[in-house]
Structure 1
């Protein structure tokens, strides 16, 4: 693999990049698992962008489906019209839940899906036979992330991402502890005791804000980048749903990252034997071939709307976009036809084993965790105390840069895992199409990127 250092000196760009002082590498072509830059560097995309490109790049079937749809109709205004593409995708999603979810509202992104979800929750309570207008609140988790619109960021519990916008964010949100056993389980505490403690904390929060004021509890089925691929402890989601049901609140699962096969089942909640009232999906839905997300609405909510206004009091210019729907439907057919959910499961087990073999003894690796094809490496100053690196040292972003510049691999850096500010992660979210050979490559180049910054396994970094 090439080990070129990318030049940051380039003519001024009109794009508002993440950094105003550094231009990112320019990608001119993508094929399979690789991105190609202007200087010829071939980068292995081990992050799928932002856990999006689950089929890899340049898939012929999906490109053909997009062109076929463009030759039929590229856009309609969904409040006034429907298309075969929208109907087909919605039916696929409903059928994929065994009918547990009854209706689908397609959006342009995960953030928009969460926005629609919050509105749907509110409308549900306003359309009950005896409306409950006092229900305006939501409870979510600390260090969660649900999107970057004002409402979706308001229900996100990540301190660093909220920081400068805090005065603008909605005040009808509150937060409870995440399910994060690596740092939060007490010595000698069993899974059952830990789950009971978290459920009691949620119960206490209902009581604090007033049980009849809560629209819903919003959880990531499996925590994503801001907590770092943390799968729920057995029984956790069931216990949280039980608290919701006790107080008549909706149980909402955000599967923008974890859904559509990423964790080894099409819907991550299938592994937890729990069904949400409302669900969001996005990243793996369209695999990056078109901007798309979706809100899946459960029977309980649909039944209430059907007896009420018979309408969702929300729309967007691009909701139900036919070209995006056609792309997403074909992505899902490729996943089904090629057995890629099963490959996620198998390669995920192998990826976890290889990561632990290669990095499990490194003195700055606190925990390696994940499920399916999303894995996180939590980095610490000391494995015994679990002390994080100070945020100012920018350990994860520096490893990300080293991966690109020295080892031609794209990783996902994460931060704030400990308290919303401190705590570094390196996250891997490769395509569902990877092989054992790809896993070996990913692990070796990820390890080299980490060791180039923190030193080999027998040393402890002092940054």
Structure 2
């Protein structure tokens, strides 16, 4: 028996003891490809990087933490400068925190404080999308549109406004791009007008939807339309890049694929790459200027803001990404991954769709490819495929609610950005075998 509370209170899971590159090793000596980069899409630079361990040891021996309320560190300044160097034009400051959920919460608070500083105190609502996930703290969860994760906590959540996702495979409006004229983006304007522009502070969206949909990028021009609508109604645009940022999609930030600059970026996960829990809000010049004009403190401080050891780790991770050209590698290996997933789709009738950008990809399961009909929820297809893959030495991340928040199964795939072409092929072979095994189980009743 263990006194450690695990996510699944009844399942028996392997005890991991070591990692190297894309591989994990358990206490029984079994090796696994970490196809989800931790839980999930965290370990961007891979496991067992000695440079990170050395930096952590030397920094902890010198000074690990400082009183953030009255001091700061060079490591924090350097980490912030690196992030601003990667960001779209117009960004000026970075506020470091301990997780992606905190980064989202703080980005929402920055948006609110900006609107108050601009003399618009009634602007308080944040609009988001269904089938999105922005974090597990109450404010971030209220914005999230991931039904299964919200359901038990609904009475605790503040009222939130959601619009349909930008999900072409299952278009809410039953249209096809580009004839749809981006109705999913125009839904934002409708929501703003319905709530009253004087009440809406911000819109938050994942450029590539992660856990809730499994690697779904928005269609071309979607975020251009979003930017236009936000500007029209003095609404801030927050890009949630906690999962899809920092090289994961083959760009510094995923929003770069649309050549649009948001007002705030929330990031995390890969920022510390699993070596230290880190997140950050990147804040644009106009927000900083408005707050400075009011002489305001930012009211959103957490215990480990600007953490010295975390900042040193994050700065070293960002250097590693650059020195090893991992963004470029992600573009190359991401193409191979999507090509391989499409090959699997062509021979596996349970695979309805594959999608993604870079090394952030998804597989959606259906019982009928032509009708795009999902499997019954009680079959738990995504979990069964995860189990089958894990038995064969591959860890993937399952998801559900793909169709309507309840029905639908998908996998999210996101190996470390250090993966090679031969390792991609190994991963695809195991995935194909795992899917085939579950198809046989279901067919056999």
Q: What TM-score do the two structures reach when normalised by structure 2?
A: 0.97
* Corresponding position of 1:443: 428
1:136-195 Cα offsets, whole Å, 9 max, x none, are: 111100010000000000000111110010011011x1100110000117677332x434
**Aligned positions of 1:134-213 closer than 5 A:** 134-171=122-159, 173-184=160-171, 189-191=176-178, 193-213=179-199
* Aligned-partner Cα distance in 1 for 2:151–2:387: 25
Which one of the candidate residues 422, 426, 435 is aligned to 2:411? 426
Q: In the aligned structure 2, how far is the partner of 1:218 from the partner of 1:427?
A: 21
Matches within 5 A, 1:215-364: 215-364=201-350
- Cα root mean square deviation, aligned: 1.5
Question: Which stretch of structure 1 is more off in the superposition, 157-166 or 385-394?
Answer: 385-394
Q: Kindly indicate whether the alpha-carbon contact (under 8 Å) linking 1:195 and 1:233 is maintained by their aligned counterparts in 2.
A: no
**Are the counterparts in 1 of residues 165 and 172 from structure 2 also a CA contact under 8 Å?**
no
Alpha-carbon distance between aligned partners in 1 of 2:288 and 2:238, rounded to the nearest angstrom: 14
| Aligned residue pair count | 444
Contact 1:195 1:236 in 2 (8 A): no
Say which of 396, 410, 433 aligns to 1:411.
396
Q: Give, in angstroms, the shift of residue 77 of structure 1.
A: 2.2
CA contact (8 A) 1:127 1:309 kept: no
TM-superposed deviation, 1:207: 1.2
Change (3 A) 1:383 1:69: same
Are the counterparts in 1 of residues 186 and 225 from structure 2 also a CA contact under 8 Å? no
Aligned equivalents of 1:267, 1:231: Cα separation in 2: 13
Contact between 1:415 and 1:424, CA under 8 Å: does it hold in 2? yes
Q: Residue 23 of structure 2 is aligned with which of 34, 38, 41?
A: 34
Report the 3-state secondary structure (helix = DSSP H, G, I; strand = E; otherwise coil) of the residue aligned with 2:216.
coil
Q: Deviations over 1:191-241 (max 9, x none)?
A: 2x4343123221111111111100100100111121111111110001011
2:4 corresponds to: 15
Classify the secondary structure of the residue corresponding to 2:161.
Answer: strand
- The structural deviation recorded for 1:423 is 0.7
Report what 2:43 is aligned to: 53
The DSSP-based 3-state class of the residue aligned with 2:356 is strand
C-alpha distance in structure 1 between counterparts of 2:89 and 2:23, whole Å: 37
Say which of 74, 78, 86 aligns to 1:84. 74
1:6 counterpart residue number: none
- The equivalent residue for 2:33 is 44
Say whether residues 1:381 and 2:367 are aligned partners: yes
Aligned to 1:413, the other structure's residue is in SS state: strand
Is contact 1:264–1:373 with CA below 8 Å preserved after alignment?
Answer: yes
SS of alignment partner, residue 208 of structure 2: coil
Rounded to whole Å, the distance in 2 between the matches of 1:118 and 1:461 is: 47
Q: Does 1:108 align with 2:95?
A: no
CA contact (8 A) 2:353 2:365 kept: yes
Q: Measure, in 2, the Cα distance between the counterparts of 1:20 and 1:357.
A: 37
Q: SS where residue 144 of structure 2 aligns? A: coil
Shift of 1:320: 0.8
2:436 alignment partner, SS class: helix
1:5 maps to: none
CA distance in 2, matches of 1:288, 1:415: 25
TM-score when normalising by structure 1: 0.93
Stretches of structure 2 that go unaligned for 5 or more consecutive residues are none
CA–CA distance in structure 2, aligned partners of residues 190 and 386 of structure 1: 18
Cα distance in structure 2, aligned partners of 1:329 and 1:138: 31
| Secondary structure of the structure 2 residue equivalent to 1:263 | coil
Distance in 1, matches of 2:428 and 2:263, equals: 38
Runs of 4+ in 1 over 6 A off after TM superposition: 185-188
Higher mean alpha-carbon deviation, 352-361 vs 87-96, is at 352-361
Distance 2:30 2:175 in 1: 50
